[in-house]
Amino acid sequence: MNTTRYMAMSMVVLFLGSVLTSCATSERTYQGAAAGGTIGAITGILLDKDNRWRGGAIGAAIGAALGGTVTEIAARASREAASQNQQVTYSTEDGGQQVVSTPVGTSPRPGCKRVREQVYQDGVLVRDQMVDICKG
């Protein structure tokens, strides 16, 4: 594939990913959808050897939806963990994906609590981060 065509395809896929993030409700959800869309687009381009445009578009759509959804669920679990001061776990029905949010104390930021978010895919830890949950 020539460089010009590859660049054009990349721009379209990135544009599709950014359009798909318009349903997001928070900055973190936007970031999760954008990251998922980008990874999905790249994966789709690499996997669909017959029609890379189709693979990129489908990958971007699926990746953005999954990335945004997992990020939003993790944020909800963290808010609940901070307000209830106890661990909160969300799992898919088949147990393939799991989000665990655990309060770990107060944040250096006034009025905020620190929560550890862990996201598992098929029992494998794929994201582990500390977030500050603030009132208001």
Pairwise CA distance, residues 111 & 107, whole Å: 8
pLDDT, one tens digit per residue, over 44-86 is 888 888 888 888 888 888 877 777 777 788 888 888 999 999 9
pLDDT digits (tens, 9 = 90+) for 4-27: 665 566 666 556 555 544 444 556
The range of the structural domain enclosing residue 49 comes to: 3-134
Q: What are phi and psi for residue 49, nearest 5 degrees?
A: -70, -20
Q: pLDDT at residue 28 above 70?
A: no
Per the structure, the count of domains in the chain is 1
Task: Pick 34 or 91 by higher pLDDT.
Answer: 91
Q: What is the pTM of this model?
A: 0.60
Long-range Cβ pairs for the range 56-63 (8 Å, 24+) = 56/9, 56/12, 56/13, 56/16, 57/12, 57/13, 57/16, 59/13, 60/13, 60/16, 60/17, 60/20, 61/16, 61/20, 61/37, 63/17, 63/36, 63/37, 63/38, 63/39
- Which one is predicted more confidently, 41 or 23? 41
